[in-house]
Amino acid sequence: MNGVDFSFADQHLCALASGALWWPDLKLLCVSDLHLGKSERMARRGAPALPPYDNHDTLNRLAVDLERTKAEMVVCLGDSFDDLDASITLESCEKMQISSLQAGRRWIWIEGNHDPGPIELGGTHLSEWTCGPLVFRHIAQAGGQSEVSGHYHPKASVRIKGRSITRPAFLLDCNRLILPAYGTYTGGLRSSDPALSNLMETGAMAILTGSQPQIIPMPRRV
Amino acid sequence: MTQIPTRIAAWFAAKGWSIHPHQQEMFDRAQDPASLLIAPTGGGKTMAGFLPSLVELADGGHKGLHTIYVSPLKALAADIKRNLRTPVDEIGLPIRIEDRTGDTSATQKKRQRADPPHILLTTPESLALLTSYEDAPRMFDGVQRVVVDEIHALAESKRGDQLMLALARLQHLCPDMRRVGLSATVEDPAAIARFLARHPDPCRIIQADPGPDPDISMLETQEMPPWSGGGAAYAIPAVLDQIRQHKTTLIFHNTRAQAEIFFHNIWLANDEGLPIGIHHGSLDRQQRERVEAAMVRGDLRAIVCTGSLDLGIDWGDVDLVIQIGAPKNVKRLVQRIGRANHRYNAPSKALLVPANRFEVVECVAALEAAKAHELDGESRGSGPRDVLCQHILIAAAAGPFNANTLFTEMTSAGPYAQLTRTEFDACLEFCATGGYALRAYDRWQRLQQRPDGLWQLRDPRAAQRIRMNLGTIQDTDTLKVRLKRNRGGKPLGEVEETFAASLTPGDTFLIGGQIVRYEGLREMVVEVSRRADKKPKIATFSGTKFATSTQLSERILHMFAQPDWPQLPSHTAEWLALQRDMSHLPQRDRLLIESFPNDGRENLCVYGFAGRNAQQTLGLLLTKRMEETGLAPLGFVATDYATLIWGLDEVTDPRPLFQLGALRDGLDKWLAGNAVMKRTFRASATIAGLIERNIGGQRKNGRQATFSSDILYDTLLKYDPNHLLMQITREEAMRGLVDFGRIEAMVARIGDRIDLLRLDRVSPLAAPLFLEVGKVPVKGAAEERLLAEESARLLQVAGLQPM
């Protein structure tokens, strides 16, 4: 598997190059912030019509990860839809694509701030979910322990030989793990931003996604 | 033929002025639908442009707007207002003159739309904005003349294309409107005349006497210029000496960063406290206005400046122009020199100060070309379609339109005379639906066709969004810089966002000639405090890139072939001899390649002397082959003479890089993934209205709030590679590149006459290349290797085991 293996809350986990989290013992794949329906929502609000291929692209990448891992369980960590209307206005082919990805798997939708209610699609809808020692929720909570979350769309930058390399990144410390955004039309928040620097403990690490994911001490503001 | 009214003629006589022949000719031709005046600075261009308006307005009979004056600079509009007021007031003409730019207050702007002045002085962007209002027909009712100043500068950019589309709109509203263009000396006046005129109207070209040749030479200094570097600090004592000997000196720089550094250094050496100011586009408006006012009062002995003073602002008694750094092209040099000595028919005086030894060679070549009256320049081709998309949106904001009428109107603009109906329809489709191969958002279309066939905005509120994002100037995103205080300190200017992102608290840098310390970023404002340090930690922020003309390249290559160089200062001749000794000097019929390590990376310098576009293309092609052969290139930069490529591994054999078949194979894919394309896409997508820079008055932070335009580009490339914006991106990118066929021809011509020299360090000729701006990163295997090495290193430093 192309990823970085690490241990968190005594569990063996793997940060995949794609930005998905893989938990091999449970055959569980976790993705965060898919933001399906983003381009449609923007057009609805009167913004320019962005290329309408984002749902297709996000779901295709998810299909590849599911195929590779043979996952039996999927957790979508919230903000799976850009808003609740977006979950309704999905094209029928996109709904079918989601259904076919769900076939034969347990599927959990965690609520996010963009999609804070139940949606019509199959799967279980939960505000948060505890599985063994791990808690899955959308936004990290103060004092959270063994917590897997998303929301911030973290990214990290390193300067090497005069070049700055920035990638979406997993952030990891002794208490929490924050996943990068998986959706195609998503931006990122630098790990050096106070919102993330203050959240993460001393000694936090960042795992940069990309064709060969790499782990480094989490970049902070000096 | 109309006569000049006696009281106006009398005013001229009282000033002791006579009307120049070209002013008289412009007046005699005032009824022509279009005319273009080519005159040197100081040739009374402004009066030639306005005289017919003053005469037509003299009897006070005209109601409403009569003449629209458009200039590329806000400062120029304000300056013309001042200069025009004098004769109008002294003669006592009943003419109201007002300016309207981005700096005009909202109340004033609103009033102008209801009750326009006789003469309105404005910029292309403000004019385009005016045409986007529903009440445009009322405001522009009765307009007789439009005067486009510095049209040679506008014709080089998309701002000019936008202006010509706006004029087409105006002409539609005011069929009698006559057009006048005022231009500095250019190499191809006929091209500018075609650009200006309503197609296919004729446009007469009136040439003023170009005046005597300028008195132009190189500044002699005691100190030698360095091998590389752009600061020209060595010349400071000699420049101060010149300032002392002249009334007012303009000191031009090619980039803002160079201007900042030079200004800082000249102040450190200015023991007698000569009043010297700085003026460039990144400075805060109030700061600029203060300098402009001091200049008008004649309080300043010198101004350190950039292109923001390039255009014909008429300030004070400038009697010397100093150009720091090689002028890069002859036309720009001649236009800048025109700034000195505004008396017509007196030679302008200018001094060139090369910043390094290579620039000495360039300056000598530029001097020879200026003396030979050889101007350079390249034709721009037809108008870009991203601007067309924006103009369709502007038309929609003004009200429902008929597509046939709009097409006819647009093809009357010179730059769009060749536009086909199919091309226009594709742009209209893009504006209406996004124009995607996959039909989507039908309910949310931006433009809808009504039952009567007219097109209109689906949501009328969209007009406001369109107006807020109007314009074609693609600044890199900039952030304001302020002194840190409790409630927002004094604004100092702007820096590029990428520069701000590289700062950590405690870093010091130069802005407005002072050293400041970076304190932090607050709500998209860079907060700084003043420092009394002598040297900034970080020298500069990035600047603009100018291309040298191929014509200068030819002269330089010719010079290199000489056995020795009597026309060059001895230090530069010795420097060239050293290059010949240590490496080679590039020759016309061979290709010199140097390979050397520098600063922990491997470098390859390819001296093609083919012009910047060709060298840029060569950089793309060679990095492709280096990536394929595992040489891990990291990036390249191109100048008119050479391409410098850096990477992780040494190139020992150039032949695999130049294999023609392999160069062609997979080229489309390589090119499509390159940073050049992504940059171009960003600019075109913003102009065409796919990306909005301004939402609700707040420019969005391109980094966090939203995702990058690269994602949109990658998505289109994957799913809709023939989308209109991808076509436009390819067209626009090719303006900065050359046909691959030309590079192939060059490679074929050179054959095996390639000299690869391995050096142990950077050669004299390659040294200046490290300072070039416009670097193109290559994101391939090298980046992954760097990241892996850095990860291992950081983990080791942190005492951690790799996982």
- Is the domain of B202 the same as that of B63? yes
Burial pattern B156-170, b for ≥16 Cβ within 10 A else e, equals ebbbbbbbbbbbbbb
The pLDDT value recorded for residue B276 is: 93
Token pair 């009750």 is found at B115
Subunit contact A54:B715, Cβ cutoff 8 A: yes
Q: Give the HSE-up count for residue B15: Cα atoms under 13 Å, Cβ half-sphere.
A: 12
Burial pattern B128-147, b for ≥16 Cβ within 10 A else e, equals bbbbbbeebeebbeebbbbb
Task: Chain B: give the shortest CA distance to residue A51, in Å.
Answer: 7
B643 pLDDT tier (thresholds 50, 70, 90) = very high
In a domain, B750, yes or no: yes
Interior angle at CA B62, CA B60 and CA B68, nearest 5 = 115
Higher pLDDT, B489 or A214: A214
Flag whether residue A43 sits within 8 Å of chain B, measured between CB atoms.
yes
Subunit contact B692:A47, Cβ cutoff 8 A: yes
- CA B725/CA B690 separation, integer angstroms: 9
The pLDDT value recorded for residue A116 is: 84
Token pair 């061979």 is found at B590
Name the residue among A117, A196, A193 with its Cα closest to residue A151. Answer: A196
Flag whether residue A92 sits within 8 Å of chain B, measured between CB atoms.
no
B134-165 pLDDT tens trace: 999 999 999 999 999 989 888 888 999 999 99
Higher pLDDT, A121 or B348: A121
Cβ distance B322 to B354 under 8 Å?
Answer: no
Contacts B707 to A, Cβ<8 Å = 185-187
Cβ distance B42 to B342 under 8 Å?
Answer: yes
- CA B378/CA B397 separation, integer angstroms: 35
Subunit contact B790:A158, Cβ cutoff 8 A: yes
The pLDDT value recorded for residue A127 is: 95
Token pair in block for residue B490: 């004094």
Flag whether residue B803 sits within 8 Å of chain A, measured between CB atoms.
yes
Task: Chain A: give the shortest CA distance to residue B323, in Å.
Answer: 31
Subunit contact B798:A188, Cβ cutoff 8 A: no
- CA B389/CA B723 separation, integer angstroms: 14
Cβ distance A30 to A14 under 8 Å?
Answer: no
Subunit contact A211:B784, Cβ cutoff 8 A: yes
- Is the domain of B36 the same as that of B74? yes
Subunit contact B803:A6, Cβ cutoff 8 A: yes
Token pair in block for residue A35: 């933001």
In a domain, B555, yes or no: no
Task: Chain B: give the shortest CA distance to residue A9, in Å.
Answer: 16
Subunit contact A49:B719, Cβ cutoff 8 A: no
Classify residue B801 by burial, with Cβ atoms within 10 Å: 0-12, 13-18, 19+: exposed
B514-522 sheet: strands from edge to edge? B491-496, B478-483, B525-530, B514-522, B508-511
A83-to-A51, A98, B198 alpha-carbon distances in Å: 18, 17, 50
In a domain, B560, yes or no: no
Task: Chain B: give the shortest CA distance to residue A185, in Å.
Answer: 6
- For residue B506, the chain A residue with the least C-alpha distance is A222
Mutate to test the interface with A, among B542, B790, B795, B801 (most CBs of A within 10 A): B790
Flag whether residue A188 sits within 8 Å of chain B, measured between CB atoms.
yes
- Is the domain of B81 the same as that of B106? yes
Contacts B716 to A, Cβ<8 Å = 51, 53
Subunit contact B791:A214, Cβ cutoff 8 A: yes
A70-to-A20, A62, A131 alpha-carbon distances in Å: 13, 12, 19
- Is the domain of B122 the same as that of B88? yes
- Is the domain of B188 the same as that of B160? yes
Residue among B433, B705, B708 minimizing CB distance to A49: B433
B residues 673-702 near A, CB within 8 Å?
Answer: 689-692
Subunit contact B635:A185, Cβ cutoff 8 A: no
Contacts B601 to A, Cβ<8 Å = 161
Q: Specify the range with the lowest mean pLDDT, choosing from A35-44, A176-185, B737-746.
A: B737-746
Is the sign of the CA dihedral B591, B594, B595, B598 positive or negative?
A: negative
- Is the domain of B60 the same as that of B163? yes
Residue B536 in this model has a pLDDT that exceeds 80: no
B547 pLDDT tier (thresholds 50, 70, 90) = very low
Q: What are the boundaries of each domain within chain A?
A: 3-217
Contacts of B277 (CB under 8 A, 6+ apart): B291, B294, B295, B300, B302, B303, B304
Subunit contact B795:A164, Cβ cutoff 8 A: no
Contacts A186 to B, Cβ<8 Å = 707
B54-101 pLDDT tens trace: 999 998 899 999 999 998 877 778 778 888 998 899 999 999 999 998
**How many CB pairs below 8 Å do chains A and B form together?**
132
The pLDDT value recorded for residue B704 is: 38
Task: Chain B: give the shortest CA distance to residue A106, in Å.
Answer: 30
The pLDDT value recorded for residue B554 is: 79
Which helix (H) or strand (E) segment is B127 a member of?
helix B124-131
The pLDDT value recorded for residue B702 is: 36
How many beta carbons lie within 10 A of that of residue B572, not counting itself? 22
Contacts of B42 (CB under 8 A, 6+ apart): B211, B338, B341, B342, B343, B344
Residue among A46, A208, A216 minimizing CB distance to B465: A46
B328 pLDDT tier (thresholds 50, 70, 90) = low
In a domain, B139, yes or no: yes
Contacts B723 to A, Cβ<8 Å = 51
Token pair in block for residue B632: 């891990």
Higher pLDDT, B744 or B591: B591
The count of domains in chain B is 4
ipTM above 0.85, yes or no: yes
The pLDDT value recorded for residue B341 is: 54
A88 pLDDT tier (thresholds 50, 70, 90) = confident
The pLDDT value recorded for residue B541 is: 43
Mutate to test the interface with A, among B691, B791, B793, B794 (most CBs of A within 10 A): B791
How many beta carbons lie within 10 A of that of residue A84, not counting itself? 15
B647-to-A47, A161, B595, B768, B803 alpha-carbon distances in Å: 41, 11, 11, 18, 28
Cis peptide before B200 (omega within 30 of 0): yes
The pLDDT value recorded for residue B15 is: 84
Task: Chain A: give the shortest CA distance to residue B778, in Å.
Answer: 11
Residue A206 in this model has a pLDDT that exceeds 60: yes
Token pair in block for residue B425: 């329809």
- CA B12/CA A195 separation, integer angstroms: 68
Flag whether residue B711 sits within 8 Å of chain A, measured between CB atoms.
yes
In a domain, B667, yes or no: yes
B39-to-B182, B198, B205, B372 alpha-carbon distances in Å: 8, 22, 11, 19
Q: What is the CATH number of the domain that holds B200?
A: 3.40.50.300
Subunit contact B715:A184, Cβ cutoff 8 A: yes
Q: For residue B723, give the amino acid letter.
A: H
Q: Specify the range with the lowest mean pLDDT, choosing from A195-199, B204-208, B344-348, B720-724.
A: B344-348
Return the SS3 of B183: strand
In three-state form (DSSP H/G/I as H, E/B as E, the rest C), the secondary structure along chain A is CCEEEEEECCEEEEEECCCCEEEHHHCEEEECCCCECHHHHHHHCCCCCCCCCHHHHHHHHHHHHHHHHCCCEEEECCCCECCHHHHHCCCHHHHHHHHHHHCCCEEEEECCCCCCCCCCCCCEEECCEEECCEEECCCCCCCCCCEEECCCCEEEEEEECCEEEEEEEEEECCCEEECCCCCCCCCCEECCCHHHHCCCCCCCEEEECCCCCEEEECCCCC
Domain of residue B40, residue span: 6-207
- Is the domain of B490 the same as that of B512? yes
Mark which of B207, B227, B257 sits at the end of a domain: B207
Subunit contact A163:B504, Cβ cutoff 8 A: no
Mean pLDDT of B558-586: 91
Is the sign of the CA dihedral B100, B101, B102, B104 positive or negative?
A: negative
Task: Chain A: give the shortest CA distance to residue B429, in Å.
Answer: 12
Q: At the topology level of CATH, where does A3-217 sit?
A: Purple Acid Phosphatase; chain A, domain 2 (3.60.21)
Q: Specify the range with the lowest mean pLDDT, choosing from B39-53, B311-325, B768-782.
A: B311-325
Look over chain B and give the mean of its residue pLDDT values, rounded to a whole number. Answer: 85
Contacts A189 to B, Cβ<8 Å = 704
Residue A118 in this model has a pLDDT that exceeds 80: no
A147-176 pLDDT tens trace: 999 999 999 999 887 778 899 999 999 999
Flag whether residue A214 sits within 8 Å of chain B, measured between CB atoms.
yes
Flag whether residue A85 sits within 8 Å of chain B, measured between CB atoms.
no
Mean pLDDT of B520-548: 61
User: Count of residues for chain A?
Assistant: 222
Higher pLDDT, B35 or B540: B35
Residue among B433, B715, B800 minimizing CB distance to A53: B715
- Is the domain of B626 the same as that of B747? yes
Mean pLDDT of A49-75: 96
Return the SS3 of B449: strand
Helix segments in B541-644, DSSP class H: 550-560, 570-582, 612-628
- CA B409/CA B417 separation, integer angstroms: 10
- Is the domain of B199 the same as that of B243? no
Q: What is the DSSP string of B40-51?
A: -TTS-HHHHHHH
Mean pLDDT of B276-285: 82
Share of chain B above pLDDT 70, in %: 87
Token pair 């191809």 is found at B188
Subunit contact B434:A160, Cβ cutoff 8 A: no
The pLDDT value recorded for residue B542 is: 38
- Is the domain of B362 the same as that of B235? yes
Token pair 């709030």 is found at B705
B residues 399-438 near A, CB within 8 Å?
Answer: 433-434, 436, 438
In a domain, B196, yes or no: yes
Flag whether residue A54 sits within 8 Å of chain B, measured between CB atoms.
yes
Subunit contact B777:A163, Cβ cutoff 8 A: yes
Contacts A190 to B, Cβ<8 Å = 703-704
Subunit contact B446:A48, Cβ cutoff 8 A: yes
- CA A156/CA B403 separation, integer angstroms: 48
Residue A53 in this model has a pLDDT that exceeds 90: yes
- For residue B705, the chain A residue with the least C-alpha distance is A187
- Is the domain of B49 the same as that of B193? yes
When computed from its CA atoms, the radius of gyration of chain B, rounded to whole angstroms, is 28
Residue A181 in this model has a pLDDT that exceeds 80: yes
Flag whether residue A185 sits within 8 Å of chain B, measured between CB atoms.
yes
Mean pLDDT of B379-395: 91
CA B781 to chain centre: 34
Subunit contact A50:B790, Cβ cutoff 8 A: no
Token pair in block for residue B307: 């292109």
Residue B557 in this model has a pLDDT that exceeds 80: yes
Q: For residue B611, give the amino acid letter.
A: G
Subunit contact A40:B440, Cβ cutoff 8 A: yes
Q: For residue B644, give the amino acid letter.
A: L
Subunit contact B783:A163, Cβ cutoff 8 A: yes
- Is the domain of B326 the same as that of B354? yes
B248 pLDDT tier (thresholds 50, 70, 90) = confident
Mark which of B207, B241, B267 sits at the end of a domain: B207
Residue among B461, B777, B790 minimizing CB distance to A160: B790
Mark which of B308, B339, B371 sits at the end of a domain: B371
The pLDDT value recorded for residue B540 is: 46
Contacts B446 to A, Cβ<8 Å = 48-49
Cβ distance A2 to A213 under 8 Å?
Answer: yes
B727-763 pLDDT tens trace: 999 988 887 777 777 788 778 888 889 999 999 999 9
